[in-house]
Amino acid sequence: MSIVLQHDSRANVTYAYHNTVIWDKVQKKSSTSRILIGKVDPETGEVVKTSGNRRKKQIDDKTIDSEIAEFNKKVREKKNMEEALLSGNSLEIMHLKEELARIQHKYKQISQIMLSATSQIRQIFEDNTL
């Protein structure tokens, strides 16, 4: 038993279904049954339980609530990990930008030194040729 997400592009809504897989010994193949349990909130990614008025009573509400809670917990954990990675990456990007600024400053200093040395060498050669 698991939660399966299915996106409806016409309504731009993602629905969450309780999915059960059953092995049929006679036909020797698996079959699935899906029961709508809720919609996925587009901002948080968590499943919001629907009213259940038209839901088949094949599973009890406690099972649905526990599966939704477990799914939402995994969604929150994933979101926290993504935020931690992003904050770590932004800190690394900040350090790399500082290092780039230092390297550009050194490059500018070296270029100025090379330019003045080149002009001094040119001046020496001009004085010697005359």
Reported as a single tens digit per residue, the pLDDT across 29-46 is 988 888 888 899 888 888
In a domain, 54, yes or no: yes
Task: State mean pLDDT over 70-75.
Answer: 87
**Which pLDDT value is given to residue 57?**
61
**Which pLDDT value is given to residue 35?**
83
Total domains in the fold of the chain = 1
Whole domain around residue 52: which residue ranges?
2-88
User: Quick one: tokens of 97?
Assistant: 């930008």
**Which pLDDT value is given to residue 102?**
94
In a domain, 103, yes or no: no
Query: What sign does the dihedral 26-30-31-36 (CA atoms) show?
Result: positive
pLDDT tens by residue, 80-130 = 888 888 787 888 888 899 999 999 999 999 999 999 999 999 888 888 776
